[in-house]
Amino acid sequence: MFQGRSRRRVGPRVPWGGIAGAGLLVAALLVAPFPRAAASEKELARDSGKMEGKRNLAGGGHVIAFDRPEGKWQVRAVRIHALRGSGAYDPATTFVTVTVADEKLAPLVVAKAAYERFPLKGPEWVDVPFEKPVEVPARFKISVTPDPAAPKGIYVGFSAVKESASGTLRPGATENPFTAGKDWMIRPVLAGEPPAAPSPREKELVELKHDSGTNDIMMMALGAAPSVEFEKPAGACSFRSARLFLIVIEPSALEYTVSAVTLDGKVLCLADASCKGVPTGDGTWVEVPFKTGVQCPDRFRIRVDFHWNLKRPEAEMVSLGTSSTTRTHSYMLTDHSPPQPLSGMEFMIRAILEK
């Protein structure tokens, strides 16, 4: 049974290493072991992690080049896989110089670490931190240079690689390539931030409607479910919500279910709602969200099932708005008969889609 009450209503309210240079930061450090990388740090490695051999350049520099990753990064330490040689020197006062430089070996920052930091037997990873992290260009180099006056030097490990970026550096001489297919086991430790993830594209919201936005007649749908048929716009779309124009004459807790269904009645998504809290008066737009991500077919209906107390339906005093129209897309749905078109009227039911 459909009950219509002809009352004109107001329009809707829509919520809606060993390189010297002036001005360098030099730290002669007898430091405790440097902590391993934290979440805001990144270690760059050209070596494979498996040592194939070790080399002492007796005062020369072990040089290796790196490409800075994208983001805001500074070199805060250099990690070296090495051991020290035995000899007539004081390991507490003999130093290895670690330098971060640009691609042309112009120094950016220098630190020194005592030989006693390096083991005598078996190479280990030793971290040499800088007093202040230094920003580096897109391509930079690191040199590790033991004290040239020491009778025994630092043995730096190397591993096999496909493409070498390592070299050797003698005092007063230019850099020479290291053995082809080998890279020093020297790694910079960077501190900073990776590039920000791209902001997710804001989804475009599309509101589908057939009503005029003006409530011409209030309708209580008893024994049938009001529905409106829609066509999906071009492109992929998913259901976001349904929007209803409800007229609540007196406070009500009437419950109802809103669903998106195919034309043959298959439920695509649904949501339960209540009139509790809906303002009384001339009507208001109520939005009922669906579980997002459900794709819509080319044609579908939005259906509203009010859970009336059939013994006293008039006690609820809840109606659905309708607009006058010359062509209807609105139907009353029942379980046992074909959809009945609503003559000359459109239910004020709308579909909100995400594109």
**Rounded to 5 degrees, what are φ and ψ at 305?**
-110, 110
Closest CA to 219 of 318, 307, 301: 318
* DSSP of 28-55: EE--PPPPPP-TTEEE---S-SS--EEE
Residue 329 CB contacts under 8 Å (≥ 6 apart), including other chains:
210, 228, 229, 230, 346
What is the 3 state secondary structure string of 232-275?
CCCCCCEEEEEEEEEEECCCCCCEEEEEEECCCCCEEEEEEEEC
What domains can be seen in the chain, in order of their start residue? 26-193 (2.60.120), 201-354 (2.60.120)
Q: Which long-range contacts (CB under 8 A, 24 or more apart) does 100-103 make?
A: 100/75, 100/130, 100/134, 100/136, 100/140, 100/141, 100/142, 100/188, 101/19, 101/140, 101/141, 101/142, 101/143, 102/136, 102/137, 102/139, 102/140, 102/141, 103/65, 103/137, 103/139, 103/140, 103/141
Banded model confidence at residue 175, pLDDT cuts 50, 70, 90: confident
Query: What average pLDDT score do residues 7-14 get?
Result: 35
**Rounded to 5 degrees, what are φ and ψ at 134?**
-120, 135
More confident residue, 41 or 322: 322
Closest CA to 9 of 338, 343, 339, 321: 321
Asked if 45 and 252 count as a contact pair (C-beta separation under 8 A), the reply is no
Query: What average pLDDT score do residues 196-220 get?
Result: 86
Average pLDDT of the chain, as a whole number: 85
The torsion angle over the Cα atoms of residues 323, 324, 327 and 333, rounded to 10 degrees, is 50
Residues 154-171 pLDDT 10s: 899 999 999 999 999 887
Closest CA to 217 of 4, 59, 33, 14: 4
Distance (Å, whole) CA 335 – CA 52: 78
Look up residue 189 and give its amino acid.
Answer: V
Least confident interval from 15-19, 55-59, 68-72, 208-212: 15-19
Structure tokens given for 178: 């290291």
Banded model confidence at residue 275, pLDDT cuts 50, 70, 90: very high
pLDDT for the residue 12: 37
Torsion region of 316: left, alpha or beta (phi above 0 gives left; psi -120 to 50 gives alpha): alpha
The partner residues of 141 in beta bridges, in order of sequence, read 65, 101
| Neighbour count for residue 167 (Cβ, 10 Å) | 19
Distance (Å, whole) CA 308 – CA 254: 7
**Portion of the chain with pLDDT greater than 90, in percent:** 60
| Measured CA angle at 55 (ends 49, 58), to 5 deg | 145
- Whether the per-residue pLDDT at 141 is higher than 50: the answer is yes
Banded model confidence at residue 333, pLDDT cuts 50, 70, 90: very high
Q: Model pTM greater than 0.75?
A: no
- Whether the per-residue pLDDT at 6 is higher than 50: the answer is no
Banded model confidence at residue 184, pLDDT cuts 50, 70, 90: very high
Query: What average pLDDT score do residues 77-97 get?
Result: 90
